[in-house]
Structure 1
């Protein structure tokens, strides 16, 4: 079974598509309890870009590089995986800030791990959460 993953590539998206994806990722991180610093590190965007993306009218278009688009994609896909696992908003949005005692997380929450800003940490967090919905690796 392959990875069912939303993908935004650097070659394809228009500036408005990138802005839409970034706004959605920022909203998800915000609802999940990420600090601004965590969100900025996870998405590898500046403080001003993150703040503009939080405002409904603050970001109409933006150029994101391939790494940033990949990070946005991981956040969107983590959210999609959690939506298939949880019905209630408390778990859907709370899961990312709950301590996780699986070997990869070592008692840290997914947000803590991803908040390092390391793309490998973001990817590995996605991979482990995606397994919850039945994806095979």
Structure 2
């Protein structure tokens, strides 16, 4: 007999906050400032402060959770592609000549808050794994 585990709202919120904290840490390592972090993840200043502290969890909506997932997946891809930590953490802050970026800095683009730009940036980063760039 299989017993279904109950997932309380507070348990889900705790897991979401762990993901949020990880995404904030990655963005900080990419040298994103507070405003950029808020724009990329579409979170308020209060939510960002909660993520950086030990305060109680905030409720995150589906859009925010998807953004967190994309940032974490992008980071995981870069850790796979690049051996040098300077590239893992520096890639997003450097001008890029890929046709999508057209000499612009990826972090600047995703900081505008567009989900489409965030997704396309992830697609471009993910294509590095297959040598398609």
TM-score by length of 1: 0.83
**1:109 is the counterpart of 2:92:** no
Q: Which residue of 1 aligns with 2:13?
A: 15
Q: Which residue of 2 aligns with 1:44?
A: 42
| Superposed counterparts of 1:1-137, under 5 Å | 14-55=12-53, 57-58=54-55, 60-134=56-130
Contact kept? 2:50, 2:57, Cα under 8 Å: no
Q: Which residue of 1 aligns with 2:8?
A: none
Contact kept? 2:50, 2:58, Cα under 8 Å: no
| Corresponding residue pairs, total | 123
Superimposed CA distance per residue, residues 39-81 of structure 1 (whole angstroms, 9 cap, x where no aligned partner)? 10000000121122123x24x4221111000000000000000
5+ residue gaps, structure 2 = 1-10
Contact kept? 2:92, 2:107, Cα under 8 Å: yes
In the TM superposition, residue 135 of structure 1 has moved relative to its aligned partner by 8.6
**Distance (Å, rounded) in 1 between the aligned partners of 2:102 and 2:34:** 23
Runs of 4+ in 1 over 4 A off after TM superposition: none
Matched position secondary structure for 2:130: coil
5+ residue gaps, structure 1 = 1-12
Q: Say which one has the larger Rg.
A: 2
Aligned-residue RMSD, C-alpha: 1.9
